[in-house]
Structure 1
C-alpha cells in the first residue's frame, strides 16, 4: 500500500553542502479504548488516562517540527467500557467507532493492531477498522486462504521541508506485527479464520520488500515488548531484536505497558535503531527525532527520490503535563471550528456512560482489591464462584470430568503493580452496575476449563509468587522494614487457586522475574500445598481448573498453564459470566471467602505492604489484617507496616 500526500511546491533540484532533513515520529500504544480522560468504572473524570489528554502535546510536538508522522501501535479498541459500549445496541451502527473517529480527527498517519483488538472477533474488527482514514498494517497475520488480513506494509510518500526550506519527497515504509501467541490467547475467535507467523522473520521480509521498493526510511510498529537482544523468532517480546535488523530505522514498542526510555532503562543497546514504548491508556506520547542526510551531496533530478539516510536520532517520552497553556488554547480554538467532530465525541462519551450504568444487582459488601496480594478477597471470590457455576453444566455432562476436583483460578486484575497507586478496584456496597463488572474484570477473555496435575499447579502458582520481593528473616527491632511487593509485577498475573490451601515462603527468591523469565532453579516459594480438606496435593494428582482463555494458553508467561490439557474453551467473555451471575442472584452479593494462600511465618519480621491510598477508607479490613499506616511512597503508594 502506498499513501501519497499532495505536494504543492516543486522539489529542490540540488542538495546543499549542509542540507539535512529532520523528521519527528509521534506514537501512542495500548490505549485500550481509553479515549476520554474519564474513569467510567468510578463514574468520574480521570486526568491520568485517555487519548484526548494527548491531543495538546501532539499539537505542541507538531508545532516544534516541520515534518511529523503520528502512529498508533495497537490494542486500541478493547479494555475500557467505551470499547464495549461502541459495539452495543446503544451505538448507531452507521457511525465509526469512537476511537477511529478520534484518530481520524487527530490525523494519524498509520497504525497496527494488537492482540486485544481481536478479542471481539475477526468480523467485528474488520468492521471497526474499515472507517480508518489511515493505513493499518500487519506483517504477520494472514487469512486461512493465505491473503494478508490487512496490508503487510504501507509506503507513505510525503513532501517534507529540509534545513534550507526546500520541499523534498521522502518515502517512509511502515510495517507492524503482534505476538504469534495471540493465536492461542484468542483461539476461539481466530481458529479457522487467521494464522499468525513469528514476528522477526515476518518483519524482516517486509523490511526487505520496502527497501527494494526504494524507501528512504523504515519504521516498525511492534505490538511487542522490548525483550532481549538475542530474542528467538517465536518470542513474544522482540522489539530490541527488531531494532537490530538491517534496514530498520525506528521501532515503536508496546504490549507490556512499559514506558521506555525511563530512568531505570534510559537507552537501547549500542548499534540498534531508536525505540520508544509510550506506556498505556494514553499515559505518554512517544517521540523519535531523526536527522536525515542524502548519502551523496550531489544534485538530484527534480521530482526524484532523494534516498535519505539517518545520521542522528533521539528518543523520548512526552506527557500531557508538558503541553503549555498556549497549545491547550490552540486546541480548544481548533475544536471550536469542528462542531460535528465535537458532537461525535460527546455522543460517544454520553452513550458509554449510559451503557456502563445498566443495573445488575446489589452488593452487601464492598468489592475492592487493595489487599488482594495479602489475603484472598471478596472480589476474587466472586469471580471464582461465577466461574464454577458457569462450567458446572459442562462437567455434569461428562462423568470423567465430574469425578475430578474442581479449582477456580482467579486474579485481581487491578491491584497496583505497574498500573500505579490508582489502579485498584473499589466498588462500594450498594447497587451493582455493568461498569462495576467491567471494573472487576476488564478484559474480554473467554472461559476455559483445563485438566492439570498437581505438579503443573505448583509451577503455575510459583509464577504468581513472583509478585513478591525476597524478605530476609531479620528480627532486629532496629532493622528497617523490608518492602514486600515488586511493583514491576503486573497484578493480573497474581493467580490464586480457589479450592486449595498453600503458603508462600518469602525467604526464598522468586524463580521468575516480573516478566515471567526463568532466573533460577531449585526450591520454590510454594509450601504446604493441599486441598481445602487439608489433604496434601501430590504431583500426579489430577484436577480441573476453570480459568480464562488467555491464561489457559499460557498468557502472562505461565508455561505450566499452557501445558495443561484444555477440555473446554468458549469465546463467551468471563466478564459476561460474572454479570450474569450477579443478575441471577435473588439477594445481594456477599461472597464467602474460602481459605487460600497465606505466608510462611518469618518470626515477626517487619515488612511494608504498599497499596492504593483508597485503602484508608477500609478501616475494618486494615484492622483485620493488622496493617498500620506508615506514610506514602515517592510514587504515591500507601505504605502499611505488617509483621510476618
Structure 2
C-alpha cells in the first residue's frame, strides 16, 4: 500500500515510514507447535515479506519491535529450559531481528518471565538498541535510581526529501513497559529493579530528548489503549494518554493483542479511524503472533528551522485474510536460519507424557465447568496436598486446600482458532503447553471466606448482565474481560447469577457495591463462612496481584519453585491415563424467563460444532464476526 502526501510548494518535505511488529511471542515460523502443523496466520517469516515490500515502496523507513517477543509458544520453553543459550550464541528472535535490520526494540512484560539473567544473556545477541525508560535499578547510587536499560536513543537518520535531496533528521526513540511487571514477575524482579509509571516517565524523558536535539519522537509503548476511565498513574494500558503528551509524534503500541486502527477502539473519544490517529497523533497496534505489520507514514516539513509532522496515516498489513488464507510468501532464507531450533522444538513437543481417554477442548470453557480447566486444578490440588504435608507447614494443617485456574485459550483477542483442542489418545508436551500457555510458578495464598467470595465476584465479571424479561438476543460474554482472569476455584461449589450486575469492572474497580453474583457458595455442602480460612493454589501472577479483588487482600504463604506447567506434566505422567471430565462445582444459575423469544448467545470457534451435540442446552446458530461462530445457551428454568 503506497500512501503519498503532497507538500506545499517550496517547503522541504520528507516522507518517513515507521514499521512495527509487536507481541510476536516467539512465533517466528508459520507454524502451530500445539497442533504441530503449518499455520499461515502467524510467523515473522511471513511478516518479513511485508517488511521488504513496505521498505521498497518508500525512500525512508525505520523498523521497530514493541516487545513480548521472547515468550509465547513451546519454542521459548525449549530454548530457555532445555537447550539453553551458550555463551556467544544468538537467540533465534534476535538472529532474525538482526537479519531484518531492526533499528530499535523495546521490551514487553513477557521478556521478564525467565528472569533478568536469561534476558540479559539473550540481549547480548541483539545488534540494535534496546530502549526502556521506566525500569530502574533497585539499588540507589548517591540517592539516585539509575535506568536499568537505555531510556532512549537518538538516530541521526539520513533521509531523502521529495526533491531527492539528502538530509539528516534526528529521530528519538523511547520505550515503555507496564509497571505491573513488578507484580507479575515479582519472583524475578523484586529487589533488582523498580518500575515507574509510563506517562510520568514520558513527561520526564521527552523534554530531555528535545533538549538533546531530537526532531521527531517515536514511542515504543508496550501498553494498551484505554480511555474508559480517567487517567491514573501506574495504569497498565496508557497509550491513549501518551498521545496527549507534547513532543511525542508517533506511538507504536501493543500488549492488548488487538488491532489499531480497528473496530475495538472506534468509540474512543478523539479517534480518527480513517487516518489511524488518537488526539491527532498517529498510533498503530499490529495484533499478535506476527499476524500484521504496523505502518505509520509521516509527512515531515521543516518550518522556521524545525521539523514538524504535518500529516500522517496509520495502517495495518495482514499476512492472511479473515479465513486464514495466506496473503504473502514465506521468507525461505529466514526460515532456513531458524530451522534447527524449529525442528528441535517439534521434537521436544512431541514427547509423550500420558494418555487421555477422551478429547480435551476449551470451546465452552467460559460458559461451563470445563475439563481443560479441571485438569489444571486437579494437578495443582494434588501437588499442594502432598507438599503441605511437610512438617514445615504444620501451622496450616487442617485448613482446606483449594485450587484456582483459568482457561488460557478461549478465543477472544487470540481469534477464532485460539482454543485448546486435544484429540483422544496420546498426550505430549505440546498438549501440556496448550493447556497451560505461560511459564508461571505455583504459589499458595491464605484467604478467608469473604476474600474468597470477592475473588469469585471478580471472575464473574466475565459475564454481561442478562435481563430475564427482555426478548431477542443478549450477549452473555463481556468482550472486554480477559478470559485468563476468569478463575475457576475448585474445592468449593457455587453458582453465578448473571441476572445481577457485575460487582467489579475489568480492572477490579467496584461498579456495584451491593450486588452479589456468587450465590450458594459452599464447602463440603455447608455455606462458606466469612471468617473461614482456605489455602488456594494459584500462579505467581495472580498471587502477586495488587488489583484483583480478594487476592490483593490475601497472604502469600508459600512460593514454590515448580512451574504450574511442570506440575501438570508430572500429574499426567503419574496418572498415565486420564478421563477428562469436569466435576461441575460451578455453573451459571438458571432463572425464570417470561418470554420464549429470548436467546442468550456467545461466540466460540466454528470448530466447536464438532462437540456441541454433547451439551443439551447449547446449540449452534451460525457465523459471527471476526471468523467466530455464534452459539446459544439455555439458562431458563
Mapped partners of 1:272, 1:521: distance in 2: 38
Q: Is 1:343 aligned with 2:336? A: yes
Structure 2 residue 631 is the aligned partner of structure 1 residue 640? yes
Which among 521, 540, 552 is matched to residue 549 of structure 1?
540
Query: Secondary structure in 1 aligned to 2:620?
Result: strand
Q: Separation in 1 of the partners of 2:106 and 2:561?
A: 23
Per-residue CA deviation, residues 417-476 of structure 1 (Å, 9 max, x unaligned), is 23222111011111111111000001011111111122222222122112222222138x
- Unaligned regions of 5+ residues in structure 1, if any? 1-14, 298-306
Give the CA deviation at 1:591.
4.5
Matched, 1:499 2:491: yes
Matched, 1:590 2:579: yes
Kept in 2: contact 1:452–1:565 (CA 8 A): yes
Mapped partners of 1:114, 1:342: distance in 2: 24
The answer for the alignment partner of 1:106 in structure 2 is 100
Matches of residues 71-110 of structure 1 in structure 2 within 5 Å?
Answer: 71-90=64-83, 93=86, 94-110=88-104
Determine if the alignment matches structure 1 residue 189 to structure 2 residue 197.
no
SS of match in other structure, 2:159: strand
1:133 matched to 2:132:
no
Which of 440, 449, 458 pairs up with 1:445? Answer: 440
Give, in whole Å, the separation in 2 of the partners of 1:610 and 1:227: 23
What is the TM-score normalised by the length of structure 1?
A: 0.89
Of 322, 346, 350 in structure 2, the residue corresponding to residue 353 of structure 1 is 346
For the structure 1 residues 480 and 328, does the alpha-carbon distance in structure 2 shift closer, same or farther, using more than 3 Å as the test? closer
The alpha-carbon deviation at position 516 of structure 1 amounts to 4.7
Equivalents in 2 of 1:20, 1:487: separation in Å?
43
Deviations 1:177-223 (A, max 9, x none): 11111111111111232222222222222212211110111111111
Give yes or no for contact 2:20–2:286 (8 Å, CA) kept in 1: yes
1:239-258 Cα shifts (integer Å, max 9, x gaps): 11122112111112222222
> What is the Cα deviation at residue 147 of structure 1?
4.1
2:29–2:335 contact (8 Å) kept in structure 1: no
User: Match for residue 273 of structure 2?
Assistant: none
Q: Tell me if the contact between 1:446 and 1:549 (Cα under 8 Å) persists in the aligned partners.
A: yes
Describe the superposition over 1:519-549 as per-residue Cα deviations: whole angstroms up to 9, x where unpaired.
Answer: 4443132212111x22112222221111001
Q: Does 1:612 align with 2:601?
A: no
**TM-score (structure 2 length as normaliser):** 0.89
Shift of 1:230: 4.1
Cα contact 2:40–2:320 (8 A) shared by 1: no
Structure 2 residues not aligned, in runs of 5+: 1-7, 140-144, 271-277
Match of 1:119 among 110, 113, 133: 113
Listed one character per residue, the Cα deviations across residues 282-333 of structure 1 (whole Å, up to 9, x for unaligned) are 2222222211111216xxxxxxxxx4122222222221248xx9x957x75x
Partners of 1:47 and 1:474 in 2: how far apart? 45
* CA offsets 1:145-187 (integer angstroms, 9 cap, x no match): 3443221111111100112111111111111111111111111
Q: Deviations over 1:41-87 (max 9, x none)?
A: 01111122222221222222222221111111111101111111222
- How far residue 500 of structure 1 moved from its aligned partner, in angstroms, is 1.4
Rate the CA distance shift 1:549–1:92 in 2: closer, same or farther, 3 A: closer
Once the two structures are superposed, the pairs formed by residues 237-316 of structure 1 within 5 Å of their partners are: 237-266=237-266, 269=270, 271=279, 273-296=281-304, 307-316=306-315
CA–CA separation in structure 1 for the residues paired with 2:68 and 2:625: 30
Give the conservation status (yes or no) of the 8 Å contact 2:301–2:308.
Answer: yes
Match of 2:3 in 1: none
Separation (CA, whole Å) in 1 of partners of 2:253 and 2:115: 24
Output aligned runs, 1:321-332, within 5 Å. Answer: 321=320, 328=328
Shift of 1:99: 1.2
Give the 5 Å matches for 1:455-534.
455-474=450-469, 479-514=471-506, 516-531=508-523, 533-534=524-525
SS in 2 for 1:75: coil
Distance in structure 2 (CA, Å) of the matches to 1:148 and 1:405: 45
1:590-637 per-position Cα deviation (integer Å, ceiling 9, x unaligned): 245323211221225532243222222225xx3344322222213332
- Map 1:336-485 onto structure 2 (within 5 A): 341-396=334-389, 397=391, 398-474=393-469, 479-485=471-477
SS at 2:577 equivalent? coil
Counterpart Cα distance in 2 of 1:272 and 1:41 = 41
**Cα distance 1:287–1:517, how it changes in 2: closer, same or farther (>3 A)?**
farther
**Contact kept in structure 2, 1:91 and 1:351, CA below 8 Å:** no
Secondary structure class of the residue paired with 2:245: coil
- Paired position in structure 1 for 2:274: none
Aligned residue for 1:43?
Answer: 36
Q: 1:320 to 1:458 in 2, by over 3 A?
A: same
Work out whether 1:567 is the aligned partner of 2:562.
no
State the Cα distance separating 1:28 from its structure 2 match: 1.4
1:28 and 1:197, CA in 2 relative to 1: closer, same or farther beyond 3 A? same
Over 3 Å counting, the alpha-carbon distance change for 1:260 and 1:571 in structure 2 is: farther
- 1:4 match: none
Q: Is the 8 A contact 1:370 1:611 kept in 2?
A: yes
Q: Which residue of 2 aligns with 1:232?
A: 232
- Which residue, 587, 598, 602 being the options, matches 2:591? 602
Cα RMSD (Å): 2.5
Alpha carbons 2:443, 2:560 under 8 Å: kept: yes
Could you tell me how far apart the structure 2 residues matched to 1:208 and 1:573 are? 43
Within the alignment, does 1:576 sit opposite 2:566 as a pair? yes
Question: Aligned partners of 1:320, 1:342: CA distance in 2, in Å?
Answer: 16
Structure-2 separation of matches of 1:516 and 1:314 = 35
